[in-house]
């Protein structure tokens, strides 16, 4: 347990209406996938402009199902970024294909679309871009590349619910889009995820893949013709997600306001001039899933995190460049392969940002960060 005034880097906002709704589901006699899942899927479809949406037990399995629906498997390559939660590349390995990393743009920290075409081979099946921290990737460039080369796109929009690209909501257009409802995300279902399907994808296949591949027909008929997994969303989770979806735009507006206040406070402390990189100031399209600074190489991140902790402030690392994890090094990647991702991975620091934060918390974090960085000689 942390002290009462400890400020974590994130915390879900669950209102009493949602909590009461969960209790009702628990008492209803039907607690796994059922009417609330259907209601959540309908609400998600409405949120994403009427597109077809199916829910899953996690954002990870959601992406895996998208790859399976596209037939991505052994011998295939999927182009993605090394700067993401490791789930992004793990799902490519899980279906037996090979992730092909391209470096990030050091300013946006998203996959650099200018490097994608050079990474395409005859084996490339799909692009798997990630909207890191909810900052949208350059979707004009990526979809143009996909169209030129006949590739499919699975957007890892795990962090991007409510973000837009040039004013159009992520997931409301494009190919596949995969979202996560992990408690740290901008809307949660405790655990869970959803997949927005393009018109040429079969929602019944998505349903079979999430439940053992079972196909039912007639009053008593059943067959299995594809290997599915067990990844359905419970009605308890769906009730939480439904309650969150109603509030996510308000949550995101609050996040944007706090992020704006952070930029003002950190500018006033002269952090950019001291070598600390601030995030891209997208207060129109981004959902501000995280507020991440990048520390200069001269500063030891563990000391900064410890100093913040001593001042009652939580922070996080999202993420180390994933090609440097043992599993990925064992497949041939090494330090120096993606210098921008490695630099960001070594210096990135996530500051507290969540809708329940008070206005005064921003100043508290900024002052603590300033003091800690001064102690570190910055
Ligand atoms: C959270 C996250 C995932 C995985 O979602 P889970 O619901 O935790 O399985 C995948 N990609 C990114 C970028 C994420 O942030």
Q: Ligand 1 pocket test: which of 137, 158, 322 has the largest number of ligand atoms within 8 Å of its C-beta?
A: 158
pLDDT on residue 1: 46
- Residues 29-50 pLDDT 10s: 999 999 999 999 999 999 999 9
Q: Count how many domains the chain has.
A: 2
Going from the Cα of 183 to the center of ligand 1, the distance in angstroms, rounded, reads 10
If asked whether residues 186 and 304 sit together in one domain, one would say no
Q: Are 3 and 309 in contact (CB under 8 A)?
A: no
- Please spell the DSSP secondary structure of 294-342, one letter per residue: E--TTS-HHHHHHHHHHTTB--B-----GGGSHHHHTTT--TTSSHHHH
- Give the span between the Cα atoms of 172 and 168, in whole angstroms: 7
Q: How far is CA 187 from CA 11, 244, 271, 288, in A?
A: 11, 6, 31, 12
Which two three-digit tokens encode residue 346?
Answer: 């070594």
pLDDT on residue 3: 55
Q: Is residue 9 part of a domain?
A: no
Ligand 1 atom closest to 182 (CA): 7
Q: Using a cut of 0.75, tell me whether the model's pTM lies above it.
A: yes
pLDDT on residue 58: 98
If asked whether residues 253 and 346 sit together in one domain, one would say yes
If asked whether residues 149 and 180 sit together in one domain, one would say yes
Q: Pocket around ligand 1: residues whose beta carbon is below 6 Å from it?
A: 58-60, 84-85, 87-88, 130, 156, 158-159, 180, 182, 193
If asked whether residues 222 and 292 sit together in one domain, one would say no
- Please tell me whether residue 211 adopts helix, strand or coil conformation: strand
If asked whether residues 339 and 257 sit together in one domain, one would say yes
- Give the span between the Cα atoms of 48 and 22, in whole angstroms: 24
Going from the Cα of 318 to the center of ligand 1, the distance in angstroms, rounded, reads 11
If asked whether residues 193 and 264 sit together in one domain, one would say no
If asked whether residues 304 and 202 sit together in one domain, one would say no
If asked whether residues 40 and 124 sit together in one domain, one would say yes
Mean residue pLDDT of the chain comes to: 97
Chosen domain end from 211, 245, 279: 245
Ligand 1 atom closest to 61 (CA): 9
Q: For the chain, how are helix, strand and coil distributed in percent, rounded to 5?
A: 40, 15, 45
- Segments in the chain below pLDDT 50: 1-2
Residue 183 φ then ψ, to 5° = -55, -25
If asked whether residues 136 and 177 sit together in one domain, one would say yes
Which two three-digit tokens encode residue 217?
Answer: 């027909």
If asked whether residues 303 and 338 sit together in one domain, one would say yes
- Residues 245-272 pLDDT 10s: 999 999 999 999 999 999 999 999 999 9
Chosen domain end from 228, 245, 262: 245
Going from the Cα of 213 to the center of ligand 1, the distance in angstroms, rounded, reads 24
pLDDT on residue 4: 62
pLDDT on residue 212: 98
If asked whether residues 120 and 28 sit together in one domain, one would say yes
Going from the Cα of 179 to the center of ligand 1, the distance in angstroms, rounded, reads 8
Domain span at residue 27 reads: 16-245
Active site residue 185: yes
Residues in the chain: 378
- Give the span between the Cα atoms of 231 and 55, in whole angstroms: 9
Q: Is residue 218 part of a domain?
A: yes
Q: How far is CA 217 from CA 45, 220, 221, 224, in A?
A: 26, 7, 5, 11
- Give the span between the Cα atoms of 123 and 25, in whole angstroms: 47
Residue 233's beta-bridge partner residues?
Answer: none
Q: Is residue 2 part of a domain?
A: no
Q: Are 284 and 164 in contact (CB under 8 A)?
A: yes
CATH number of the domain within which 313 lies: 3.90.1150.10
Could you say which of 125, 185, 230, 309 is catalytic? 185
If asked whether residues 215 and 92 sit together in one domain, one would say yes
């Amino acid at each position: 347990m942390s002290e009462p005034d400890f400020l974590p880097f994130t915390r879900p906002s669950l209102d009493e209406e949602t909590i009461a709704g969960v209790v009702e589901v628990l008492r209803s006699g039907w607690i796994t996938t059922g009417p609330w899942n259907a209601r959540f899927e309908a609400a998600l479809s409405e949120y994403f402009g009427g597109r077809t949406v199916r829910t899953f037990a996690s954002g990870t399995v959601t992406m895996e199902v998208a790859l399976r629906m596209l037939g991505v498997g052994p011998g295939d390559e999927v182009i993605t970024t090394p700067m993401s939660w490791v789930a992004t590349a793990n799902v490519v390995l899980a279906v037996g294909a090979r992730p092909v990393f391209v470096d990030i743009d050091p300013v946006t920290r998203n996959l650099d679309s200018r490097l994608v075409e050079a990474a395409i081979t005859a084996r490339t099946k799909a692009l798997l871009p990630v909207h890191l921290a909810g900052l949208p990737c350059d979707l004009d460039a990526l979809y143009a590349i996909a169209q030129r080369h006949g590739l499919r796109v699975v957007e890892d929009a795990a962090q991007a619910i409510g973000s837009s690209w040039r004013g159009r909501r992520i997931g409301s257009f494009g190919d596949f889009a995969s979202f996560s409802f992990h408690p740290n995300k901008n809307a949660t279902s405790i655990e869970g995820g959803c997949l927005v399907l393009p018109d040429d994808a079969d929602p019944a296949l998505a349903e079979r893949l999430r439940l053992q591949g079972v196909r039912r027909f007639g009053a008593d008929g059943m067959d299995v013709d594809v290997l599915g997994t067990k990844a359905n969303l419970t009605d308890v989770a769906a009730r939480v997600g439904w309650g969150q979806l109603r509030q996510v735009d308000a949550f995101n507006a609050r996040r944007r306001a706090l992020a704006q206040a952070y930029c003002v406070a950190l500018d006033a402390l002269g952090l950019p001039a001291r070598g600390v990189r601030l995030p891209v100031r997208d207060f129109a399209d981004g959902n501000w899933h995280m507020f991440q600074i990048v520390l200069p190489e001269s500063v030891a991140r563990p000391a900064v995190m410890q100093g913040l902790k001593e001042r009652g402030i939580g922070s996080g690392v999202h993420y180390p460049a994933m090609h440097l994890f043992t599993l990925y090094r064992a497949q041939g990647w090494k330090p120096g392969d993606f210098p921008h991702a490695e630099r960001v991975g070594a210096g990135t620091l996530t500051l507290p940002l969540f809708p329940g934060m008070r206005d005064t918390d921003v100043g508290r974090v900024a002052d603590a960060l300033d003091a800690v960085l001064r102690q570190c000689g910055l």
